[in-house]
Structure 1
Amino acid sequence: MSSVPPPVGTGARTIAPAKLNATLLVGPVRPHDGRHDLTSVMQSLTLADDVALVPAPVGAPADDVDCPGVDGDNLALRALRDFRAATGWDAPPLTVRIVKRIPVAAGMAGGSTDAAAVLRLAAHLSGRGDAALLQELAAGLGADVPHGLEPGLALAAGAGERLERFDGDLPGAVVVVPADVGLSTPSVFREADALRPPRTADDLEAWRVRVLDALRAVGAHGATYPAELAVNDLGAAAVSLAPVVGAHLEALRHAGAAPALVCGSGPTTVGWFPDAEAAEAAAARLAADGVDALVALPTSGAPIEAVPA
């Protein structure tokens, strides 16, 4: 006999914050799945999508997604389907409603953080699915999805799915510069492998220790994250495939960013500034030079709210 699902009512909503890699180091390929081992510092930003899980229109035959400009069979909808299959949740059809603010295919985990938000919302509305199950489902959807289950600051290992989370956030503010070019993540990894061999497992571990010490200092004393650790091994590949990425990095440095780096596999770039005021001034200078830019702050948490009737 099927269980009676709790009433969804008008649904629930949350934010799905963009993810910034403050450090991204690429190691050897894992033989069991073809992914690279990574050491990465992941930080959520106030730049975020709005994600809601609400009842589908009357007569709808199945779950669907409402997100203008995004394919209807996207990662967020897969997250809902996977959650239903794993938990047996048989609520009537639902609509995943997404208001996009994170640039699409930007290297900021926009699709992944939306999928993580759907898992959080489904668990909230259904009363099913513990943390271990959500982690398992998230890892199955993609290496960036687990971080979005608990937005904030984390040190990632594996392909990004093994996380050590930290209280607090990295200090400062960032200026985000999107690029109107397409870069697929697999192509960037291939180019990175062609430009230089991946780091060894020993090198990744040595960096992990350095990064861990820095993150502990940030959490305990509010220390600044060291600029020398702000390294992205995919940055050169992104610049090689899309030279505008290099131009944006140079523009950010000229505007005072310290450091400037590529977001994930690109093509978005970000520049770090000591505070929001400095970041706003830099964004204004970039805009005056014809470079679109926006300011975001490091952030943690993503509360769930009822959708107003």
Structure 2
Amino acid sequence: MRAAGPRAVRVKAPGKINVSLRVGPPREDGYHSVASVYLAVSLYEEITATATDDGAITVTVDGQGSLNLPMEEIPLDASNLAARAAAQLAELSEKSTGVHLNITKRVPIAGGMGGGSADAAAALLACDALWNSGFSRDELAKIAIDLGADVPFALIGGTAVGVGVGEQLTPAISKTPLHWVLVPSAFGLSTPEVYRTLDDLRLAGGEQPPEIPEIDPQILSAMRSGDAHTLADLLHNDLQAAALELAPELKDVLAAGREAGALAGIVSGSGPTVAFLAESEDHAATLDALLAAAGLTTELVHGPAHGARVVSDYIA
């Protein structure tokens, strides 16, 4: 009879699109106040957490899906965000063990879609289940705040408004699916560099944004009703100008989407991933085919998608 192997837990967590992102000026702590509408989409990171006896936290990464992901850019040491999440939970759990985290990447790396944050959220949920820590989803979300502003949302999923630096979340109603075509880039953009570039552009242009940015309530109304045409006129990202300054080729991507008939296009978060909104699932498929024929790498997604979720719990 074969001896039982170590216990393993597999979790997936979603990437996100910032349907609206308003950014205030730099604060004294170096961060920026934001007001964001997050939409979780059906492109998931996946983590398998396997218990080990050596007490160490180790990480491996592989890629899957149609996106060409630069895997070599992902750290495999203690600085990896998933490893940091596991280490943070281990300090709080009475039953922690060593753990090996295998990350299957699907969300564009450094692409403005919160892939690293999804990894951290998945690691928190996987290790909580692996160690029978017993933390509630709300308790894990509080732990997640220290790991990054987008991590709590990856746990919760769906649609939410984020304020503060994005970590103060209020769930929003959005049940009707919205369909998107993503166009990732072969390169990433540094989020801090994008914010610095935004500050420089504002200074050069004499722009003075409000200290506390706010969300246009019409956006939430359009998402609640699933009205893609109305939403298309309301998409907004204060970071887009900075992303285009750092990566001017994104202007050609946005133009290609308009040419192909997208309702609207927007740089997601700090970029460089571009998200194109379609009026329906069929329209998204047509748009996807046209953009692919133009030589662009594409991915069809819809949202809102669920937050981090245990997929399986088994003996390896």
* CA distance in structure 1 between the partners assigned to 2:173 and 2:305 by the alignment: 8
- Deviation track 1:232-252 (CA, whole Å, cap 9, x = no partner) reads 111111111111211111111
Of Structure 1 and Structure 2, the greater strand share is in 2
* 1:37 match: 33
Of 118-127 and 278-287, more deviation after overlay is shown by 118-127
Does 1:149 find its partner at 2:159?
no
* 2:75 match: 71
Q: Give the drift of 1:172.
A: 2.4
Compared with structure 1, are the counterparts of its residues 216 and 123 closer, same or farther at alpha carbon in structure 2 (3 Å cutoff)? farther
* CA distance in structure 2 between the partners assigned to 1:254 and 1:102 by the alignment: 25
* 2:168 match: 162
Contact 1:26 1:198 in 2 (8 A): no
Structure 2 residues not aligned, in runs of 5+: 63-70
- Deviation track 1:111-134 (CA, whole Å, cap 9, x = no partner) reads 011101111222233233234432
- Aligned residues between the structures: 292
Q: Give the drift of 1:37.
A: 0.5
Structure 1 residues not aligned, in runs of 5+: 1-7
* CA distance in structure 2 between the partners assigned to 1:266 and 1:222 by the alignment: 24
Aligned to 1:229, the other structure's residue is in SS state: coil
Q: Give the drift of 1:307.
A: 3.8
- State TM-score, norm by structure 1: 0.87
Percent identity for Structure 1 against Structure 2: 35
Contact 2:33 2:164 in 1 (8 A): yes
* 2:311 match: 305
* CA distance in structure 2 between the partners assigned to 1:308 and 1:129 by the alignment: 20
Q: Give the drift of 1:216.
A: 4.7
* CA distance in structure 2 between the partners assigned to 1:182 and 1:217 by the alignment: 31
Of 117-126 and 279-288, more deviation after overlay is shown by 117-126
Does 1:23 find its partner at 2:33?
no
Residue pairs, 1:1-309, within 5 angstroms: 10-31=7-28, 33-56=29-52, 60-68=54-62, 69=71, 70-73=74-77, 74-85=80-91, 87-125=92-130, 126-169=132-175, 171-196=177-202, 197=207, 199-201=209-211, 204-205=213-214, 208=215, 210-211=216-217, 213-216=218-221, 218-219=223-224, 221-224=225-228, 226-301=231-306, 302-309=308-315
Compared with structure 1, are the counterparts of its residues 18 and 169 closer, same or farther at alpha carbon in structure 2 (3 Å cutoff)? farther
For the aligned residue pairs, the C-alpha RMSD in angstroms reads 2.1
- State TM-score, norm by structure 2: 0.86
Compared with structure 1, are the counterparts of its residues 28 and 135 closer, same or farther at alpha carbon in structure 2 (3 Å cutoff)? same
Contact 2:194 2:242 in 1 (8 A): yes
Contact 1:26 1:39 in 2 (8 A): yes
- Deviation track 1:134-178 (CA, whole Å, cap 9, x = no partner) reads 223211111111111111110110111010012434642111001
* CA distance in structure 1 between the partners assigned to 2:94 and 2:267 by the alignment: 40
